[in-house]
Amino acid sequence: MEKQQIRMKELPTEDRPYEKCLQYGPEALQDSELLAVILRTGTRGKSALDLAGDILRRSRSKTGLLALHHLSLQELMDIPGVGTVKAIQTKCIGELCKRMARMETRQTLSFQDPGTIADYYMEFLRHEEQEKIYLMMLDTKNQLLGEQCMSLGTANTSVLTPREVLITALQYHAVNLILLHNHPSGDPAPSRADTALTERIRQSAEIIGLHLLDHIVIGDHRYVSFREAGYLA
């Protein structure tokens, strides 16, 4: 016999997310309960808790709340009972988490310290499933003039030319440059292509008086700085 779904109002009071949050605080809620509070309502035959569980189990590559970063809107809407509104709510939770993480690290961000740069971009990039290369453009005092995504790649490669980097840097009147990109595999060890591209950009920049200060590769809670590792000439 198929297990009967339990509606939220049929649960014991101590097991209902809202009542549990009021009594013990949000830290006492499980991942599915936190998501159920955001979803608010379920659908016919399923409570909000059931839907939350379905969402958290759906991602093939990540489990738990990390699934919110890896499921597209369409993939969420393909889950029975999750329509457009609930899919948007779910994606917005993930985006809020990323922005809150960046705000926490903003105060300690220093473009002279690769560790603070990695911290600032970590939550923004470590969940991405394709490589993205960002260019940070600085003035003579290493103050940020602007940043721009220069390349969207595949799961393990991206395409960028020195010409694109230099044109963008000159548009911002930059003097110093920092490259940053992610490795979706989670391993930040630079590839041969990463090393070769970095050296081509460094040499090209020097010809016109620009300086590549660093190239930082973001992994899963790990990073590699070309400057710290001694890869930059």
Whether residue 132 contacts residue 125, with contact meaning beta carbons closer than 8 Å, is answered with yes
Tokens of 7: 């509606």
Alpha-carbon distance 111 to 180, whole Å?
12
pLDDT, averaged across the chain: 86
217 Cα distance to chain centroid: 14
Looking at this protein, which amino acid is placed at residue 37? V
Predicted pLDDT at 1: 39
CATH no., domain 108-229? 3.40.140.10
Q: How many CB atoms lie within 10 A of CB 44?
A: 7
Beta carbons of 214 and 232 less than 8 angstroms apart: yes
Other beta carbons within 10 Å of 109? 14
| Domain range list for the chain | 8-101, 108-229
Nearest residue to 213 via CA among 147, 134, 138, 151: 138
Q: Measure the CA–CA gap between 194 and 185, rounded to whole angstroms.
A: 15
Three-class SS state of 15 = helix
User: What pTM was estimated for this model as a whole?
Assistant: 0.67
Q: Which residues of the chain have pLDDT under 70?
A: 1-15, 59-63, 154-158, 233
Give the pLDDT confidence score for residue 118 in this predicted structure: 95
Residue 225 sits at the vertex; the CA angle it makes with 162 and 193, to the nearest 5 degrees, is 45
Task: Provide the H-helix boundaries in the chain.
Answer: 17-24, 31-39, 48-58, 67-70, 73-77, 84-106, 114-125, 162-171, 192-207, 226-229
Residues 59-114 pLDDT 10s? 665 667 777 777 888 988 998 989 899 889 888 888 888 788 777 777 778 889 99
